[in-house]
Amino acid sequence: MTQASATTKATRRQHDREIVALAVPAFGALVAEPLFVLADSAIVGHLGTAQLAGLGIASALLTTAVSVFVFLAYATTAAVARRVGAGDLQAAIRQGIDGIWLALLLGAAVIAVVLPTAPSIVELFGASDTAGPYATTYLRISALGIPAMLVVLASTGVLRGLQDTRTPLYVAVAGFVANAVLNVGLVYGADLGIAGSAWGTVIAQCGMAAAYLVVVVRGASRHGASLRPDAAGIRASAQAGVPLLVRTLSLRAILMIATAVAARLGDADIAAHQIILSLWSLLAFALDAIAIAGQAIIGRYLGAGDTNGARQACRRMVEWGIAVGVALGVLVVLSRPLFLPLFTGDSMVKDAALPALVIVALSQPICGVVFVLDGVLMGAGDGPYLAWAMVITLAVFAPIALLVPTLGGGLTALWAAMTLMMVIRMLTLWLRTRSGNWLVTGATR
């Protein structure tokens, strides 16, 4: 073995250790997030098809209301990791605290918008007369937990940037268990129906936010970082998040268009779509575990001025993304007969979901590349490019998806359009990473 070959293998092993150390706990934490929706779907699905269809619309709307602010986690991870790489832990934690204050402000604003407009929003997305009231009830109650959800996002970003993905895992697992227990107790024990499911989620999210705040406050005290709100810091956090907000709004628009199209196909199709979307989100978050490692590792390398290390880490993470995507695709195909009965006994819903799940399975290797490269560019702070790339993807996807009901393609055609969307994302992200323009070093970008 030549010295160059030995060095390459040693570097790969080092990157593998770093990726595994960060990605495995992140996987558990990320999987817990869609499991909240999966647990709600499994519990509410046995109340009836109309309730499950209502949950499908409301949860998509609620996820959008929260996920548009995912930059609170992603931008914070990158910014904190850069400062860690530069050796300034006090500034790293202070950066995260500014993000938490911003989360509280944004959460209050979202509540003020969602509560009075919930019925109109549900109607806009084509809910049927039977599903609409359930969707409105779930959306209004769950909106009360949005500030806590945003605090969880920002606090998670702080810890990821500090190269700690274990604490978010512990908090997420505790939150999932609490959510499941509360949902069963309130939906069936207290006989609150879909409202009980919403209240259980709100309570669980508030508990998670409290746990994160305890950890962050302790870290701030240890490193001498101020906890008081700083207007300039909050404003800087908001400005840094604007490109990622545009990127996330475009992505959420894609998912909401898909949900609106499915709703117009009928109750059985929207119910099947909700089940598939929950699974797709679970798979996406699992792949995103590698991307989370990428955000933390790439940010740290660039903060330390090591562009070669960042480039090598990117290459290795892409290899991981492809391999995990293939494994997940095979798992989806094999588990289809066992998966669907957990959520519905309606044969029409099952018939709509089965072929669409094959499309989801085939797309997983593509998704692996997309999520990894997305995380790499986020870790580099390359938000403006991510924003433009997603806007282009939305512009291509929207007209194709909206034609599905007209052409009679059904749910399978809709998910084929979703796969095309991922192919476009993969191409735009690959072109950027290949160019090297994202390799900007320093404690700040």
Most confident of 20-34, 51-65, 118-132, 146-160: 146-160
pTM given for the model: 0.80
Q: Which residue has the higher pLDDT, 445 or 71?
A: 71
Residue 42 has pLDDT above 80, yes or no: no
Q: Dump pLDDT digits (tens) for 385-415.
A: 999 999 999 999 999 988 887 777 788 888 8
Q: What is the pLDDT of residue 126?
A: 66
17-21, 144-148, 207-211, 353-357: least confidently modelled range: 353-357
DSSP assignment string, 329-355: HHHHHHHHHHHGGGT---HHHHHHHHH
Identify the pLDDT of residue 349: 74
Record the tokens describing residue 2, joined without a space.
Answer: 């030549």
| pLDDT tens digit sequence for 256-314 | 888 888 877 777 777 788 788 878 877 887 788 888 888 889 988 898 888 888 888 88
Query: Alpha-carbon distance 352 to 238, whole Å?
Result: 42
Q: Which residue has the higher pLDDT, 347 or 159?
A: 159
With 0-12 / 13-18 / 19 or more C-beta atoms within 10 angstroms meaning exposed / middle / buried, residue 88 is: middle
Contact 204, 37 (CB under 8 A): no
**pLDDT at position 364 over 90:** yes
Q: How many angstroms separate the CA atoms of 382 and 374, rounded?
A: 10
| Helix and strand numbers, DSSP H then E, in the chain | 16, 0
Query: Would you say residue 345 has pLDDT above 60?
Result: yes
pLDDT digits (tens, 9 = 90+) for 176-191: 888 888 888 887 877 7
Q: Are the CB atoms for 290 and 19 separated by under 8 Å?
A: yes
Confidence at 433, pLDDT banded by 50, 70, 90: very high
Burial class (CB in 10 A: 0-12, 13-18, 19+), 14: middle
DSSP conformational letter for 69: T
Q: How confident is the prediction for the chain on average, in pLDDT?
A: 84
What is the reported pLDDT for 67? 73
What is the structure's pLDDT at 4? 57
pLDDT of residue 33: 67
For residue range 69-111, list pLDDT tens digits in order: 888 888 888 888 888 888 888 888 888 888 899 999 999 898 8
More confident residue, 445 or 254: 254
What DSSP string runs through 198-218?
Answer: HHHHHHHHHHHHHHHHHHHHH
* pLDDT tops 80 at residue 145: yes
Question: What is the per-residue pLDDT for 398?
Answer: 92
Categorize the per-residue pLDDT at 212 as very low, low, confident or very high, splitting at 50, 70 and 90: very high
**pLDDT interval class at 7 (50, 70, 90):** low
Query: Residue 163 pLDDT more than 60?
Result: yes
**Alpha carbon distance 350, 359 (integer Å):** 15
Determine the pLDDT at residue 309. 86
Instruction: Give the pLDDT score at 81.
Output: 87
Query: Residue 3 has what pLDDT?
Result: 59
- Determine what percent of the chain is predicted with pLDDT higher than 70: 94
pLDDT at 386: 93
The least confident of 11-25, 27-41, 83-97, 139-153 is 27-41
How confident is the model at residue 6, as a pLDDT? 63
Amino acid 14: pLDDT: 80
pLDDT tens, position by position, 109-129: 988 888 888 878 787 776 667
326 pLDDT band, cuts 50/70/90, is: very high
Residue type, 362: L
